[in-house]
Amino acid sequence: MTPFDGVDTATLLSGHADWIGRQGAARLSRPALDCLETEFPHHVGRVDGPDGPERPRERHPVFYGCYDWHSAVHGHWTLVRGLRLFDDHPARAEAVDRIDARLTADGVAREVERFEVEPTFERPYGWGWFLRLAAELSLWDDARAAEWRAILDRLERRIVTLVESDLRSPSRPNRVGTHGNTAFALCCVLDYARTTGADELAAAVVEAATDHFATDRDAPAAYEPFGLDFLSPSLTEADLLRRVFDPSRFAAWLDDFLPGLDADGLSLDPVEVPADPTDGTALHLLGLNLSRAWCLAGVAETLDGHRDGAAEAARRCGARHAERGVSRAFTDAYAGSHWLQSFVLYLLTRNEGGVTPDA
């Protein structure tokens, strides 16, 4: 049983945190707290020589837990967002102590060095989640948050520079349902830019998103998911374009992009997952139900007053995914527990700042 069992779908999709309570806050933060110091198992990366790779904590002294770098980053985001949103967070002292111990000037310097040696490391998914963490710290009106962001400043500036360079490089968008998804990364960067007032970066993201996706039509949503998807390529693209276009233009674009999303509804059901999944494929699909839910909820809110039939269809579809996703996300399998609660928190609190266009 979890604090979220039996919660009605309208509440799950509301995007607000006022109903979650102390038990819910504790349940959402516990996996991140438990794995923050867990060095192994870990996706260490390539072997650079006969002596084997460096240990995770040596290679990345700030973000080494939670199996891989990006999961450690959004584990920190989960804790920081929880601290910001829940004044009476039951694990506040523990979370603050853990983050304080991890965020050191020397550790951040080592992280920056790694990106200088390996500038494509964690491109683009890890970059996006790191900028979400920086944006979250900027939203939290707290001296401790200001101190943590100041410590991370060198890494933040380094990743922004990498993102800006990447945006200037002509390339085809990656439409996969995993870490390389271009639209998801652009969502993260655009939300960061608008939240922190980085207007030039925001304009560059809007230009890139428009160039990549504005003429897309007839998305093959019915064929999803593909393999290890934890993101929907079609719905994630729609989630980006709702940030980029005004509601009227977005509604017209969506008519061509997802023509099945109308008063009759979108034929997209939650993915069926085994009762006790332990393998990575099934656990990714648990995340897919959650990410589909937040995309559909955002699309529905953007269409309200512009395509009411389509908005209601998206909301119904999102509710099915939210109910299935949240009910199954609290797994004891480490392959899922080290990241799924970040997706749950994002879904449940997406209207609490940091997610545009209402950031």
- What is the structure's pLDDT at 37? 83
Tokens 């995340």 found at: 287
- Name the residue among 162, 177, 185, 202 with its Cα closest to residue 240: 185
Residue 50: is it exposed, middle or buried by C-beta count within 10 angstroms (0-12/13-18/19+)?
Answer: exposed
Distance between CA atoms of residues 238 and 232, nearest Å: 10
Distance between CA atoms of residues 293 and 325, nearest Å: 8
- What is the structure's pLDDT at 50? 63
Structure tokens at 316: 């119904």
Query: Cα–Cα–Cα angle for 18, 238, 243, nearest 5°?
Result: 65
pLDDT of residue 47 exceeding 60, the answer is no
Helix axes 182-196, 233-244, angle to 10 degrees: 30
Give the pLDDT mean for 267-287: 86
Architecture of domain 9-348: Alpha/alpha barrel (1.50)
- What is the structure's pLDDT at 286? 94
pLDDT of residue 277 exceeding 80, the answer is no
Tokens 């806050």 found at: 25
Query: Cα–Cα–Cα angle for 238, 202, 108, nearest 5°?
Result: 105
pLDDT digits (tens, 9 = 90+) for 131-148: 999 999 999 999 999 999
HSE (CB half, 13 Å, CA atoms) of 134? 28
pLDDT of residue 16 exceeding 90, the answer is yes
Q: Are 347 and 326 in contact (CB under 8 A)?
A: yes
Listed by start position, the domains of the chain span 9-348
- Name the residue among 260, 287, 259 with its Cα closest to residue 271: 287
Give the sign of the dihedral formed by CA 197, CA 199, CA 204, CA 209.
Answer: positive
- Residue 227's identity, in one-letter code, is G
pLDDT digits (tens, 9 = 90+) for 166-219: 999 878 999 999 999 999 999 999 999 999 999 999 999 999 999 999 999 999
The three-state DSSP-derived secondary structure of 95-155 is HHHHHHHHCCHHHHHHHHHHHHHCCCCCCCHHHHHHHHHHHHHHHCCCHHHHHHHHHCHHH
pLDDT of residue 359 exceeding 50, the answer is no
- What is the structure's pLDDT at 201? 98
Tokens 């990241």 found at: 339
pLDDT digits (tens, 9 = 90+) for 293-344: 999 999 999 999 999 999 999 999 999 999 999 999 999 888 899 999 999 9
What's the pTM? 0.96
pLDDT of residue 46 exceeding 60, the answer is no
**C-alpha distances in Å from residue 340, one per residue of 29, 34, 160, 274:** 11, 13, 26, 16
Tokens 């006022």 found at: 18
Q: For the chain, give the mean pLDDT.
A: 93
Distance between CA atoms of residues 24 and 86, nearest Å: 10
**C-alpha distances in Å from residue 288, one per residue of 52, 200, 295, 343:** 34, 32, 10, 9
Neighbours of 61 (CB within 10 A): 17
Tokens 């867990």 found at: 38
- Name the residue among 205, 182, 208, 210 with its Cα closest to residue 195: 205
